[in-house]
Amino acid sequence: MRQMSYDERNDDPRPTEELIRLALTERDEDMAWESVTALHFRGSREVLEAAERLCDSTLATERELGATLLGQLGVPERTFPEECFDTLAKMIQCESDPDVLQAIAIAFGHLDDPRCLELLIPLKAHPSDIVRWGVVHGISGHDFPEAIETLIELSRDKDEEIRDWATFGLGTLIDTDSAEVREALWARTSDTYGDARAEALMGLARRKDLRTTTLLLKELAEEDVDSMAIDAAEEFGNPDLLPALLQLKKRWPENRREEEEWLDRAIASCKGIPEEHRG
């Protein structure tokens, strides 16, 4: 399916109410999202007021759309962020539908307002996986102690996707380097879910944790090396990884030539070459 260009999304001539109707009724998810994206780009007061009406609807699907619109209203520059936050904050106080709660949490994440923390953290043990997943997205990127503590808890969640994203939030989206963060990341290096393990390795590599060396050497010796292990090696820049990276270069498969630049950058990093002079 052809993707809409920037100008098409920014200058969509269809009325706001028509785009909202299509977003609610179109069965093709990609086409429905095109309508949402057009409304995000429009970002006008008319769209704001329409979204606020949706948020006050008795129908969960309409409230979900309203929250989704408020989260990214205005592209490339956000419009009405205070009004958007206030409406979402009011919504979450009385909302019970899991899909709507998830949409509110994700919208808070897009708004990147630390005031969301006190609203989202109480939902960290919600029985619905999608709500807890939304909480991770909503609070990630904030380095306040309560946000970090919550991400550490959610990095141990029973749901693998939640563990993965919480580990990403701890390891990559913040720079906080504490014993608690490192131990939470280290615990995920033995996770049964591969993506969570990879995010943990990246987070530890960014913090130059020497325990990562043995794990990365094992990853780099695998027949099918995960690209995140190569990224982690570049982040780490540990010369002890250089022999393994050079061996990997010799056996790099033809069908992954487009990724070889990543490998070259990791080699340069472990040789101590400054980032601005790599590949």
The rounded distance, in Å, linking the Cα atoms of 134 and 97 is 13
Radius of gyration of the chain (CA): 22
pLDDT in tens, 153-186: 999 999 999 999 999 999 999 999 999 999 999 9
Using the 8-state DSSP alphabet, how is residue 156 labeled?
A: T
CATH architecture of 140-209: Alpha Horseshoe (1.25)
Using the 8-state DSSP alphabet, how is residue 213 labeled?
A: H
Averaged pLDDT for residues 106-123: 98
The rounded distance, in Å, linking the Cα atoms of 248 and 205 is 19
pLDDT in tens, 240-270: 999 999 999 999 999 998 889 999 999 999 9
Count of CB atoms situated within 10 Å of the CB of 142: 22
Torsion angles phi and psi, residue 173, rounded to 5: -85, -10
pLDDT at 273: 86
Residue spans in the chain of domains classed CATH 1.25.10: 42-111, 140-209
Nearest C-alpha neighbor of 80 from the set 104, 46, 120, 57: 46
Query: What percent of the chain is predicted at pLDDT more than 90?
Result: 91
- pLDDT category at 278 given cuts 50, 70, 90 is low
- pLDDT category at 1 given cuts 50, 70, 90 is very low
**Amino acid code (one letter) for 192:** T
Q: What does each C-alpha distance from 193 to 8, 189, 231 come to in angstroms? A: 40, 9, 18
Averaged pLDDT for residues 39-59: 98
- The answer to whether 34 and 18 are in contact (CB under 8 A) is no
User: Is the per-residue pLDDT at 2 higher than 60?
Assistant: no
Q: Is 42 left (phi over 0), alpha (psi -120 to 50) or beta?
A: alpha
Span 42-111: which CATH code?
Answer: 1.25.10
- pLDDT category at 8 given cuts 50, 70, 90 is low
The rounded distance, in Å, linking the Cα atoms of 129 and 136 is 11
- pLDDT category at 279 given cuts 50, 70, 90 is low
